[in-house]
Amino acid sequence: MVTIQYKLETVSVVEEKDASWIVRLFGDNRVVLVATGEVMAGVDMTRLADDDIVVDGTTVKIVMPPAEILSVRLIPGESWVYDRKLNILKPNWQLELQAQEQAETSLRDWSIENGILAQAEAVFTSRIEAFLRRLGFTDVAVLFRGSE
């Protein structure tokens, strides 16, 4: 269940310098990518086991798996190559793909460093508690594995 989504931008620079001085005379391979992407975090409810839910009358305790990054993707219409230089003797056509992968990693890392997982757990807790209270439970405890 996705509970939080970030939309972020990053700049990814990938360069390749050839070892041969003759090839270097014709320039290096370089791509600068301006990337906009989405990072989605939440709780994978398929990892919930039967013994993770304890019900006693109107009391319920649920132990959830920790929040995780569920998806990282670049938005094609909002990401573009700002600069591309290819060596005419030995062009590397894979640099753009490498820049995209680097951008996705950067977006994922920044999101984790800035608390997306804690926010995902907080939003999940709020939603599941409200849902369970509507079902008639009066005492609801939502915990996450590792923080019990």
Q: How many residues does the chain have?
A: 148
User: How many domains is the chain built from?
Assistant: 1
* 8 A C-beta contact, residue 86 and residue 32: no
Q: Which domain holds residue 106?
A: 2-144
pTM metric for this prediction: 0.86
| Residue 147 reports pLDDT greater than 70 | no
pLDDT in tens, 12-22: 999 987 767 66
Query: Which residues are CB-contacts of 47 (< 8 A; sequence separation ≥ 6)?
Result: 65
Q: Once rounded to an integer, what is the mean pLDDT over residues 37-56?
A: 95
Q: Over 70: is that where the pLDDT of 126 sits? A: yes
Give the chain's mean pLDDT.
Answer: 93
